[in-house]
A and B are shown apart, each in its own frame.
Chain A
Amino acid sequence: MTSFLRPVAWLLIATAIVAPIAMGMNTYYLHILNLAWIFAIAALGLSVATGVAGQIVLGQAALVGIGAYATALLMMRLSLPWWLALMLAMMLTGAVGAALGLISTRIKGHYLAIVTLALNEIFRIVAVNEEALTGGPMGLRNIPTLSIPGLGETVTQQLYLPLAGLMFASYALMILFHRSALGRELRAVRDDEMAAEAMGVNSVRAKTIAFMICSLWAALSGGLYVLLVGFVAPTNFTIAESIKMMLMVVLGGLGSVPGTMLGAIVVTILPEALRDLQTYYMAAFGAAVVVIMLLWPKGLGVFADWLWGSFLTGRREPEMPALAGPLSLAAAAAAASSALAAGSAAPDPSGSLMRVRKVSRSFGGVRALNDVSFDVMRGEILGLIGPNGSGKSTMINACSGVVVVDGSIELESHPLQNRPAWEAHAHGVARIFQNVRLWESMTVLENVMVAWRRIPGQPGGEAAIREASLAALEQMGVRHLAMRQAGDLSFGQSRLVEMARAIVGRPKVLLLDEPAAGLRGGLVLELSTILQRLRAQGMTILVVEHRIKLVTSMCDRVVVLNLGDLIADGAPATVMESPAVIEAYLGERAGEASDETRARRIRRRSVDHVAAHG
């Protein structure tokens, strides 16, 4: 049904686009359509920056204006040919975009909105006042327009089909970009920037690229406008125009690239169709934005995404049959234990892989970590335990580059402390978060693919990344969820997907912050088997866990923190009997109860803790 409908829909669209020119529609209406194609290209840039990368830009019209004025001035003052002027204008505007991108790494959300609005206003003021350069309020006139003889008599007719074609090509290009590795990184930054950085996304680079793409399309659109109409004036690039472009993106369903095209066409053509209602038109549009944001956030994107089908989403895995149970690790654990049995035993811990030295961190007056030093040995499973508020999560955050600390953390002589999180990931540190942080608008498979890391000697490329990601999902027993949207998963499922995301890059060190939280009792031991298998594959694991049973059965060694101090370091059984540890957990002097009761009470505490917090 759908396979039949889609080509028909495309045929109708193609007919609707060619018909006006073929049937000799009057020049005025053709002109409106030409403007729609040009606006669609400008909105495309905004769709990438705001929709895909989540960086709010309320000054797109100024970027279009810079492109338009630059194209015009290069053609008029330097007599450059149109294509060269257009290209140089795009490069210039791209540089402005890159600068904006660097600003956006310091300024987020509301600040970025007001800064981009302000830049739009500054652009308008400069364009109005610098008459010698810009022609002042009257703008620049008599700019040579582009003519392509053979496609019609007037410029409007001649440029109609080329503009429509260019617009479609631009969208096709950006849709491919949207599903590329870089597109996935931008979406990850939008959904959860901290998680993106921890999983290897260089957010500074990603945002700068997003803003450059945004301004390149803006400049192209501005240049084409000049070549079509032959004049520019400041009134074409006001804040109201920027908001109109934002409207196109919103109407197209914020985040849907194909939707933006429909949004641009509707926003440009509708005022003409409703000319008699012109008075009410903008008011209706303002109200429509509010209603769409509140009630129909996917906007026209629903239809547009369907139109582009698998060109938008890429090849989809065949849907796997749903499993009988709610969530089962049995198969994955069985695979892990048979692999363990077949392969050699776990490599003996040999030499230190990660060195933590005198690490301290304070939050306000609270000392979360106080001169903590320990080593993580190559190939071991090291447990990090301690009562609530002992600094375990802060330690994990410090090792993954998420918080700034004093002291040093080295991984094979690479310093990790106070470096961007993505560098830690590139050196081979991967983690999961205590509260699951998946990128909720992306599919499970895409979530895992973002965290893939290039290892020298291993194959790269989209197909290899996909294979590796599916294998990681398989290993965590959640491959059947690959095509589901991450936001739709249960907590336990998300946890396992997050594990898959952490192991896909074959990290040297895996930091697990309460991996068993949200898992049923039975699954916990299966998880333990899977961790043994990961260790056998060469990963060293640092795990924060509250269930003492799991810690003692799984860990080779345990490090205990209490109120930011390291109070014990050694084999699990020994550490559990240490007076300092018992005091930390039970708050009483050692020797008042028998060792046996104390150990039991520790276990019960930890179970209570899980019941309360898990």
Chain B
Amino acid sequence: MLGQVIASGLAMGCIYALVALGYAYVWNTMAIVNFAAGEFLTFAAYVFVATCTTSLGLPFWQALLLTAAAMAALGALFSRLVFARLQRQRALVAIIATVGFGIFLKEMARIIYGPEPLLYVSPFGDDMLDFGGFRLSVQQLLIMVVVVVIMAAQYFVPRYSMIGKIMRATALDRETAALMGIPVNAVLAGTFAFSAVLAALAGILLAPLFYVTTEMGTLVGLKGFVAMIIGGFGSVPGAIVGGVLLGVIENVGAFTISSTYKDAIAFTILLVFLVVRPEGLIPERSADRA
């Protein structure tokens, strides 16, 4: 039974890892935390289910690509309009502004797509695959495959390549980066678009597991942030490790301690980490110090 609990925790952990990865990339280029990440996830799930699948009738992969492209465009647009201007501000101002933007996005989803929860049936069916000690649904397996693919991409585009350096330089001092010939605005928009795509993937993958509601992303977004703190603020491998670990601990905790307090478990883990190991499991040098 515990094997089963760990396996489904692993799937949820992969979702947290996707969101956490988005936080890490935005932090590494803009030095701000996008508190609207959960709402990007929500919005993407709506676009995928309501617009691409139901209205346009696209098959899964086309719908996925179209949603990712739409969210990338949205991410790039808002990075240019809003987030690029926030870097110079105090952390307080940036946090509040991104929270405000999250409300805007969530409400826009409600205005455009209505308040009723949407049901999305996975095209891969809900068969359970037996792995001996535990069983996984096809959807859960898909989630893990997607995250492993992204991790592999991470590995083949090494962290210390030119792209990594450009992102860091942009985060540290945008003006100097521009003077050194870095196309700063393109870097910012690109990073943000990428993090929006990660959130979109998380939303698309979550859609068949839960109903699509305006609230679906809020807690996932917060837990993704918790995952990044556990893994190490701004650390890319940390985000993945932290996300997977959080998913597993949360599920095991819910199973062994109390399922009513499942959501509280993630935040308790956060508090424990902030006291015991505030720099996270895989610390990043340019981290925001607690």
Contacts and interface: CB of A to CB of B under 8 A. Distances in A.
The answer on A and B forming one complex is yes
Interface of A: 50, 54, 56, 58, 106-111, 113-115, 117-119, 121-122, 125-126, 129, 239, 243, 246-247, 250, 254, 279-280, 282-283, 285-290, 293-294, 297
Contacts of A107: 274, 278, 290
A119 B103 CA distance: 20
14 contacts: A110-B91, A111-B278, A115-B271, A118-B222, A118-B226, A118-B270, A118-B271, A250-B96, A288-B100, A289-B101, A290-B101, A290-B104, A293-B89, A294-B85
A121 B270 contact: no
Interface string B166-200: 00000000000000000000000000000000000
For the residues of B in contact with A, the DSSP-based class is helix
B225 A114 contact: yes
A297 B93 contact: yes
A115 B274 contact: yes
B35 A113 contact: yes
A294 B99 contact: no
A122 B261 CA distance: 8
B230 to A, nearest CB: 11
Contacts of B270: 114-115, 118
B80 to A, nearest CB: 13
A117 B85 CA distance: 25
Contact of A109 (B91, B110, B218, B274): B91
Contacts of A289: 96-97, 99-101, 103
Contacts of B266: 118
B264 A286 contact: no
A110 B290 CA distance: 8
> Which of B95, B111, B233, B260 has the most CB atoms of chain A within a 10 A radius of its CB?
B95
Given A109-B288, A250-B96, A243 B103 contact: yes
Contacts of B95: 56, 58, 109-110, 113
Contact of A121 (B101, B107, B263): B263
Contacts of A250: 96, 100
Nearest to B89: A293
Nearest to B215: A240
Contact of B111 (A109, A247, A283, A297): A283
A280 B218 CA distance: 20
Interface of B: 33, 35, 82, 85-86, 89-93, 95-97, 99-108, 110-111, 218-219, 222, 225-226, 229, 233, 260-261, 263-264, 266-268, 270-271, 274-275, 278, 288-290
A111 B260 contact: no
A56 B92 CA distance: 7
Contact of A293 (B93, B222, B226): B93
A117 B271 CA distance: 12
Nearest to A122: B264
A185 to B, nearest CB: 18
B99 A246 contact: yes
A287 B104 CA distance: 6
Nearest to B271: A115
Contacts of A290: 82, 97, 100-101, 104
A286 B82 contact: no
Contacts of A286: 100-107
A539 B181 CA distance: 51
A254 B225 contact: no
B21 to A, nearest CB: 17
A117 B93 contact: no
Given A107-B274, A121-B222, A121-B264, A243 B108 contact: no
Contacts of B105: 286
A289 B82 CA distance: 11
A246 B219 CA distance: 19
A581 B99 CA distance: 57
A56 B218 CA distance: 19
Contacts of A117: 222
Contacts of B103: 243, 282-283, 285-286, 289
Contacts of A50: 92
A54 to B, nearest CB: 6
> Which of A114, A121, A239 has the most CB atoms of chain B within a 10 A radius of its CB?
A114
Contact of B93 (A254, A282, A288): A254
Contacts of A279: 110-111
Given A286-B102, A290-B101, A125 B260 contact: yes
A125 B263 contact: yes
Given A115-B271, A283-B111, A293 B100 contact: yes
Contacts of A280: 107, 111
A121 B218 CA distance: 11
A191 to B, nearest CB: 10
A46 to B, nearest CB: 11
> Which of A56, A246, A283 has the most CB atoms of chain B within a 10 A radius of its CB?
A283
